[in-house]
Amino acid sequence: MTTEDPPPIRRLADWDPAGLRDLAETYDTPLYVLDQGRVRENVANLQTAFHDEHVSYAVKANTVRRTLETVEDAGLDAECASAGEVQRAVDAGFSTVRYTAVNPPSEDLDHVVALHEAHPEIDLVVTIGAADTLDALAERDYAGPLAIRVNPGVGAGHHAKVTTGDAPKFGVPYDRVPDLADEIVERGYDLVGLHAHAGSGIHGEDDLAAHRELVARMGDLARDLDHDLDFLNVGGGLGVPYHPEQDPLDLDAVAEATRDAAGDLDAQLGIEPGRYVVADAGVLLTTVNTVKPTPETTVVGVDAGMTTLLRPAMYDAYHEIRSLADDADDRDEVTAMVAGPICETADVLGRDRRLPRPECRDVFAIGNAGAYGYEMASTYNSRPRPAVVSLDGTGETSVAVERETLSDLTRLEGQQ
Ligand code: LLP
């Protein structure tokens, strides 16, 4: 790392509270704020550390058009998990797209094959994770390049629900890959790569050891195949520190370890992080609706909940919460539970948080919300999804996604 490199992490404390308060005032809450300048910094940090590797962005972390355009412009390619993601990546200008087909529905294959025929200028690779996806593509006369997603039998991640590399759902079992590779080539396809993904939120020694093991196994497999490959992609999953006390990943060390574990390859080594690119580029702003002292804790009811940010309810994920009240420093602290407006016990964004004594109409900022935040929002409890504003990195702010309205919720029901 040189002195010109951007900081490895933007903490919630690094965001200007007055600027965030103004955004909440102007655009209302709940509101996602995405700083494209920070997205660029994250891309630059990845490019510096993984200087010899190919880096794609796993778009599932954040597919907001403005973000995709930033990432494309900064020089990464796109990794997509569905036809919808492929379409959005192409619409945003990506010209190199990897489609990792997970149990692909017919409509997805129809769409991607048609897109490949209509846009030969787009460098599209379909990565199959099951042998019968090859038949499904052949039925559709797909003639483009293919890669195999491998189940390496080694997983890692911040939660069992996002540990992938040893989950039978994903990828072709390791020992069956050579036969499938032969079949792909015999059927006249261009086999260009192998792919595996350990899981999401790799952070800490055990996860990194699993990542190295996965890469080593994949390096061995690539060397053992009787076919030349263009690439070996070892997935995404680079973690970010959600806790303020947690250190950021040492990206240079991870890159070095990845390279070492892969060993000598004739193929280009690649990674495809999602979270790392966008997590700390986003915050979620939310307003306090109710403050309720109870014998157990102070319950602070805010206008964002599990439909806005699902991660705490789904994975018990920790997101830092900060009061933006201008007199926050002068207030006593209380221990609080920050809860949403959804009629579910799981609808809690943070427990046992020390916060300046909250008052109704205070605005809170929730950190590291740029990855899998807006992307996993839903309309459960008939709650319209929030708006997203984008900071363009030079001081300009604009609405990247409008706030949904109540009439948006019933639009698809038509006139009844
Ligand atoms: N490549 C593949 C094949 C993947 O399945 C994923 C994530 C990635 C790359 C990117 O992983 P990342 O670098 O973002 O960790 N909703 C969960 C994360 C699910 C990730 C699914 N696959 C969360 O909020 O933690």
Query: Tens digits of per-residue pLDDT, 74-124?
Result: 999 999 999 999 999 999 999 999 999 999 999 999 999 999 999 999 999
Q: Cα Rg for the chain, rounded, in angstroms?
A: 22
Choose the residue to mutate in 275, 310, 314, 378 for probing ligand 1, maximizing ligand atoms within 8 Å of C-beta: 275
pLDDT in tens, 193-207: 999 999 999 998 999
197 lines ligand 1 (CB under 6 A): yes
Task: Tell me if the bond preceding 7 is cis, omega within 30° of 0.
Answer: no
Average pLDDT over residues 206-219: 96
Residue labelled with tokens 């990897």 = 98
* Tokens of residue 159, six digits: 């939660």
| Cα–Cα nearest to 275, from 372, 186, 197, 191 | 372
pLDDT in tens, 288-306: 999 999 999 999 999 999 9
User: What type of residue is 29?
Assistant: T
* Tokens of residue 333, six digits: 């602290």
Average pLDDT over residues 263-279: 98
Distance CA 63, CA 99 (A): 15
**Which residues make Cβ contacts (< 8 Å) with residue 256, sequence separation at least 6?**
none
Task: Tell whether the model's pLDDT for residue 3 goes beyond 90.
Answer: no
Which residue has a Cα nearest atom 7 of ligand 1?
Answer: 200
238 lines ligand 1 (CB under 6 A): yes
Distance CA 62, CA 53 (A): 22
* Tokens of residue 295, six digits: 């014998």
Ligand 1 nearest-atom number relative to CA 376: 16
Task: Tell whether the model's pLDDT for residue 46 goes beyond 80.
Answer: yes
Average pLDDT over residues 334-349: 98
Distance 274 CA to ligand 1 centre (A): 6
| Cα–Cα nearest to 221, from 165, 262, 269 | 262
Contact predicate 359/334, CB 8 Å: no
The whole-chain average pLDDT of the chain stands at 97
